[in-house]
Homo-oligomer: A and B are copies of this chain.
Amino acid sequence: MPREVTAFSNTTVKRIRSLRDKKTRREEGLFLAEGLRIITEARDSGMLPEILAFSRQGAAHPLAAEIIEAAEAQGAEAIEVPADLLSKMSGKDNPQMLLGAFRPPSTGLAAINRNSAPLWIVAQSLRDPGNIGTILRTGDAVAAGGLILIDDSADPYSVEAVRASMGAIFTQKVAMARWDEFLPWLRSGTGQLVGTSLKTDTDYLGADYQQPCFLLIGNESQGLPADYEAACDLLVKMPMLGRADSLNAAVAAAVMAFHVRASWKLAGL
């Protein structure tokens, strides 16, 4: 049975709170997801939390009760805390009724089966965890296989990324690799690497996208390094009709991903 905890200094409360810190997440091998909706998404994707904190009101929800029971049956620690303490634990003004700490699956490239999906998103050195979460959410919408994070990236398991993913952190595969690991892995099988660039005349609307397609998105402020662009099978240009010469990274990923999907639909693929 879950224990009732009211002290901010309680070990489990402190442990959950500490997962807001990247270093602790890495040491503990756990990350935080907030809210019944996203934790249900996790359960439906086959993942249960190892630690759970919930308010009395939260536990009263049948779905929450089911998840708490299932998690405890697998050995999870579950604590009931007052709503105001839960709110402090999540750091959100608008408190969630349920928090869960999950163990991330392997983020190695070996865990990626490229033929399990026609489309993958590859992002290089993203700095903004919100962009990472938003790209995961978009990936879910276009039925991408997942997101491969290249080089030094913000943490996809940060609270901000998990929130922005709206549950897609549990439905999309996440891999992390250096470029010099990624490229040999990519070339060890089929796959078209597609980059967006200002240095090509190929309009993104007229290009031929092959499956599995790997969409390569550059860092927010620098874009793709020249040698990364040179390694692409296809470079396409998104028209910039105004004064700016670039899009937000998550926006660029989404416009490309939806267009690639649309082009396949038109081609009957």
Contacts and interface: CB of A to CB of B under 8 A. Distances in A.
B44 A265 contact: no
A139 to B, nearest CB: 8
Interface of A: 41, 44-45, 130, 134, 137-143, 164, 166-168, 171, 205, 238-244, 246-248, 250-251, 254-255, 258-259, 261-262, 265-266
A143 B259 contact: no
Interface of A is mostly: helix
Copies assembled: 2
A164 B258 contact: no
Contact of A141 (B45, B164, B242): B242
Contacts of A246: 166
A79 to B, nearest CB: 27
A101 to B, nearest CB: 22
Nearest to A171: B243
Contact of A258 (B134, B167, B259): B259
Given A164-B248, A250-B251, A258-B259, A240 B141 contact: yes
